[in-house]
Amino acid sequence: MTKLTKAEEEVMLILWELEEATVRDVLEKLEDPETPYTTVSTVIRVLEKKEFIKHRAIGNTYLYRPSVDREDYIKNSLSGFLNKYFEGSFTNLASFFATENDISMRDLREMMDEVQDDLKEDRKMERIERRRTRKEN
């Protein structure tokens, strides 16, 4: 998956939030109110060329929507970050953040509990999906 620039990510975050929007809708949500319409329009065209968004025409207006799932982009970006800076090791990442942010053992345990709960939920959803697929076949 292609890495996005800061401006492209900012537009994508807005489109993921709104689900579908015009250039003007995106412009209204940007942090910098002085951003020119043409700049946003250009970023949107680049995102469309990169196949991160699609559009549909309604009269003279284009409505843009994400064609890449937010979670998929996050997974890909974090995986690349982890590999690039922490040798692909979540342990190295957690150790870095714990050291840099003076995280207590209690906070680390709470994070691990949350991760375990999320993993259990993911496994549960996978089992449900497998059962549903078997029933359909």
* pTM of the predicted structure, to 2 decimals: 0.71
Res 104: pLDDT: 82
Q: Which residues contact 46 (CB under 8 A, 6 or more apart)?
A: 8
Taking the C-alpha atoms of residue 134 and residue 12, their distance in angstroms, rounded to an integer, is: 36
Low-confidence ranges of the chain (pLDDT < 70): 137
Query: DSSP per residue over 84-130, as a string?
Result: HHHTT-HHHHHHHHHHHTT--HHHHHHHHHHHHHHHHHHHHHHHHHH
pLDDT, one tens digit per residue, over 51-79 is 999 999 999 999 999 999 999 999 899 88
The CATH code that applies to domain 6-66 is: 1.10.10.10
